[in-house]
A and B are shown apart, each in its own frame.
Chain A
Amino acid sequence: METVNITIDGRKLQVPGNYTVLEAAKQANIAIPTLCFLKDINEIGACRMCVVEIQGARSLQAACVYPVSEGLVINTQTPAVRESRKVTLELILSNHDRKCLTCVRSNNCELQKLAEELNISDVRFEGETYRLPVDHLSPSVVRDPNKCILCRRCISMCKNIQKVGVIDTSQRGFKTIVSSAFNQSLAEVPCINCGQCITVCPVGALREKDDTDRVWEALANPELHVVVQTAPAVRVALGEEFGLPIGSRVTSQMVAALKRLGFSKVFDTDTAADLTIMEEGTELLERLKNGGKLPLITSCSPGWIKYCEHNYPEFLDNLSSCKSPHEMFGAVLKSYYAQKQGIDPDKIFVVSIMPCTAKKFEAKRPELAATGRPDVDVVLTTRELARMIREAGIDFTGLPEGHFDDPMGEATGAGVIFGATGGVMEAALRTVAEILEGKPVDNIEYTAVRGTEGIKEAVVEAGGIKIKAAVAHGTGNAKKLLERIKAGEAEYHFVEIMACPGGCVTGGGQPIQPSKVRSWVDLRKERAKAIYEEDRNMPIRKSHENPKVKMLYEEYFEKPGSHRAHELLHTHYTQRENYPEAR
């Protein structure tokens, strides 16, 4: 890329010719406030928070969309610029429900931060305001339009990246709002509950449904045996909530904090991930051998499952019948574990800490109740766990080491990598390749399926069989991949799909980083790095070598795919109609 010479606030510098003024300023370490901008996701120049003076231009220009050119002279700090930004912000604030004290995003709010940075001490415009009902019918996502600043990031995420498109602007002028079609609740439209809209919202207009009260209540109930399990992606992100750098691994502090909160047992969902690999791997081998429906598509991501049920019913038979790992774990806890420990399963309360909002919906599926009661009682996101830890006054970073509990505390590196896109595929290949080879395989790092590329492919040869695999993350990429398969342009045996771009590490329930950070740091990469580090540090890295999983099969399930395994660990799917009221 050719470079151009520009002058910004009197400083001369050379920048790539395809930069915007905002990117050039970033390179020069000059901060320009932004609000609607989120790199690669929302670059629409709508809010005009980022205005700058461009020499020779008649009016102020939005830095986030203004391209640099040779000789451009930019001023980011002039009285006119400052006044314009202030007016813009005050106008937004004048119709904003400014109840920071009770807002979930206080202290992590881009609007609040801007008000502080731009030194807003008074809102000069107290104009018309209007208040709308909060949509809290969805088990996963709560929308409060009164806090919405119309930045449109959520729309862009839902429509352009996820290719779901259940929210958009409606009405016009002062009445413009973000809504679903016909103002329906998110619970009534084909929302897949991925929560990606939440993670891009700069303010408190979108949040997860808070279920912490139900967990506090259970913890306070002496009748209940309250156990908790944590997904792999939680441990590489939770630290961000407590000021640690992105990509910090806090497994040990997380476990210690959960014990302090009063959970009777702290389990690792990774163990169930290993169990999933045994069941899914067996399913794959069976379908390969017996000419079953191919490609086999993974089923760990409930956002993806709902997307498939709404939009690609023709692929429902391709889905693995395996429950997602935490649901498997819940079923095991209320059967095998209950029996072994001599606890009434009705008294076992299972909490899952997940990077995911879709799992809140999933836990309520009536079919996920293998023992006649919900496999999992409550799903909390990483963010909700952080709130509980704060509420309990726990000094997170100062905690002593904590260890997962037995039985079933032991997991493998294969279970850990479930948290990143490509991880389920890699974990499965580690096991399937060895079964096909009939002997240990040395190279177990399948790097072709790692990384942030939207669609990844790999061919793995083992035992004389060539397994063609593909991995897609983000339902937008999944759509592309499925269309290719439908059109006969590509053929695979095994496909991994995760609803969230980047996989679980950047799930809809993960800590939220503001645009200022997220636009320039690839969260997917940084958090995934920590996941693969954790994998490398595990003594056992293949699911079928997990002694606890072996024990489970010996003592209870007999073998993968057994009758009992099917009863407890597998499920089924149903087509869902989009907008059924239209009939």
Chain B
Amino acid sequence: MSVAGECCCGNVDTREQKLTEIIEKYKNTKGALIPVLHEAQELYGYLPLKVQKKISEGLDVPLAEIYGVVTFYTQFSLNAKGKYKIQVCLGTACYVKGSSKVLDKLREKLGINVGECTEDGLFSLDACRCVGACGLAPVMMINDDVYGRLTVDDVEGIIEKYRNK
């Protein structure tokens, strides 16, 4: 798993500096926590322990409270996202058409659970609410590509396509 503060591109990580700036910007305002978390999430793509701890110290808010907020709101994520972010719709229409089976197949193929990222950093897997493509149910998205009328058998081919990109 990649750790925040190191990144694979080989450039010096400027994110820590940026995070400090974000914290400074909001530090003395009321209700600073949520906007700081939002910007930090944008910066890192997720909110690992290291980032939350820095925010905790910077804003003098206990880490347990921050963790509580992060796990309360679905827009925050505790885990890194992959190069290809897979999102499987579990909205009613997709669910009825068997999207959970598709999700199970993806879990098995990638060897990760919902909310996790593969070791090579290539794929992350999430379930999401309705994406507004119910006509195509069941639907999954990989980054901005939409795949509709999926069957369990389609999964392998699609994954391979991205792996070989």
Q: Mark A165-191, 1 if CB is under 8 A from B, else 0.
A: 111111110000001111000000100
Contact B67 A582 (CB under 8 A): no
- Residue pair A171, B50 in contact (C-beta under 8 Å): no
The reply to whether B67 and A166 form a contact with Cβ atoms under 8 Å apart is no
| Contact across chains for B49 and A168 when beta carbons are under 8 A apart | no
List B residues 43-78 near A (Cβ within 8 Å).
Answer: 49-50, 52-53, 62-68, 71-72, 78
Q: Once the chains bind, are A182 and B67 in contact (CB under 8 Å)?
A: yes
A579 lies within 8 A of B68 (CB): no
Using Cβ atoms and an 8 Å threshold, which residues of chain B touch A181?
Answer: 49, 52, 63-64, 66-67
Is B53 a contact partner of A180 (Cβ separation < 8 A)? no
Q: How far is the CA of A167 from the CA of B68 in the complex (A)?
A: 9
B-facing residues in A550-583 (Cβ within 8 Å): 578-579, 581-583
A225 part of interface (Cβ distance < 8 Å):
no
Contact partner of A172 among B50, B52, B64, B72, CB < 8 A?
B72
CB neighbours of A167 from chain B (8 A): 64
A479, chain B: closest CB distance, angstroms: 11
A86 on the interface (CB 8 Å rule)? Answer: no
- Find residues 65-111 in chain B having any chain A CB closer than 8 Å to their own CB: 65-68, 71-72, 78
CB within 8 Å for A170 and B67 given contacts A181-B49, A579-B49, A583-B50: yes
Q: A171-B72, A181-B67, A182-B67 are in contact. Are A166 and B53 (CB under 8 A)?
A: no
Q: Which residues of B contact A172 (CB under 8 A)?
A: 71-72
Residues of B with C-beta under 8 A to A579: 49, 53, 63
Max count, chain B CB within 10 A of own CB: residue among A159, A169, A171: A169
- Residues of A contacting B67 in the complex (Cβ-Cβ under 8 angstroms): 168, 170, 179-182
Q: Do B72 and A168 touch (CB < 8 A)?
A: no
- Interface size counted on chain B using CB atoms at 8 A: 14
A172 to chain B, nearest CB (A): 5
- Please, how many residues of chain A have a CB less than 8 angstroms from a CB on the other chain? 20
Q: Which residue of B lies closest to A166 (CB)?
A: B64
Question: Across the interface, which residues of A come within 8 angstroms of B66, CB to CB?
Answer: 181
- Chain B residues with CB under 8 Å of A582's CB are 49-50, 52-53
Q: Is B49's CB under 8 angstroms from A166's CB?
A: no
- Determine chain A's interface SS by DSSP, over half rule: loop
Q: Is the CB of B72 within 8 A of A581?
A: no
Do A179 and B49 touch across chains, with their CB atoms under 8 A apart?
A: no
For B63, what are the chain A residues with a Cβ–Cβ distance below 8 Å? 165-166, 181, 189, 578-579
A148 to chain B, nearest CB (A): 14
Q: What is the CA–CA distance of A581 and B72 in the complex, to the nearest angstrom? A: 23
A165 and B53 contact, CB distance less than 8 A: no
What residues of A have a CB within 8 angstroms of the CB of B50 in the complex?
Answer: 582-583
**Whole-angstrom CA separation of A579 from B62 in the bound complex:** 11
Kindly provide the distance from the CB of A310 to the nearest chain B CB, expressed in whole angstroms: 12
Which residues of A188-204 are within 8 A (CB) of B?
189
Contact B49 A581 (CB under 8 A): yes
Q: A170 to chain B: which residues have CB within 8 Å?
A: 64, 67-68, 71-72
Give A165 to B52 CA distance when docked, in angstroms. 14
Query: Shortest Cβ distance from B132 into chain A, in angstroms?
Result: 24
In the bound complex, residues from chain A placing their C-beta under 8 Å from that of B68 are 168-170
Smallest beta-carbon distance A191→chain B, Å: 10
Residues on A with C-beta less than 8 A from B78 are 182
Most buried by B among A168, A171, A181, A583: A181
Instruction: Name the residue of chain B whose CB is nearest to the CB of A579.
Output: B53
Q: How far is the CA of A167 from the CA of B64 in the complex (A)?
A: 5
Considering only residues 6-41 of chain B, those with a C-beta below 8 Å from chain A are none
Q: For the complex formed, measure the closest distance between the CB of B16 and the CB atoms of chain A, giving whole angstroms.
A: 12
When distances are taken between beta carbons in the complex, the residues of chain B under 8 Å from A189 are 63-64
- Once the chains are docked, how many angstroms separate the CA of A443 from the CA of B65? 48
- Minimum CB–CB distance from B144 to chain A (whole Å) comes to 28
Min CB gap B53→A, angstroms: 4
State the Cβ distance, A367 to closest chain B Cβ, in Å: 27
**Nearest-Cβ distance from residue B48 to partner chain A, whole angstroms:** 8
Chain A: minimal CB distance from B37 (Å): 14
Asked if A168 contacts B53 (CB within 8 A), the reply is: no
Least CB separation from B54: chain A residue: A582
- State in angstroms the CA–CA spacing of A582 and B63 once bound together: 11
Q: In the complex, A44 Cα to B128 Cα: how many Å?
A: 33
State whether A182 touches B65 (Cβ < 8 A). Answer: no
Q: For A578, what are the chain B residues with a Cβ–Cβ distance below 8 Å?
A: 53, 63
Given known pairs A171-B71, A172-B72, the reply for A165 and B49 (CB within 8 Å) is no
> CA A537 – CA B78 in complex, angstroms?
60
Residues of chain B contacted by A182 (CB below 8 angstroms): 49, 67, 78
Apart from A159-B62, A583-B50: 9 A-B pairs, beta carbons within 8 A: A159-B65, A166-B63, A179-B64, A181-B52, A182-B67, A578-B63, A579-B53, A582-B50, A582-B52
Residue numbers of B with Cβ under 8 A of A are 49-50, 52-53, 62-68, 71-72, 78
Residues of A bordering B, CB below 8 Å: 159, 164-172, 179-182, 189, 578-579, 581-583
Q: List 18 A-B contacts (CB under 8 A).
A: A159-B64, A165-B63, A165-B64, A166-B62, A166-B63, A167-B64, A168-B62, A170-B68, A171-B72, A172-B72, A180-B64, A181-B49, A181-B66, A578-B53, A578-B63, A581-B49, A582-B49, A582-B52
Task: Pick the 10 closest A-B CB pairs, nearest first.
Answer: A165-B62, A181-B67, A168-B64, A582-B53, A181-B63, A168-B68, A170-B71, A582-B50, A170-B68, A181-B64
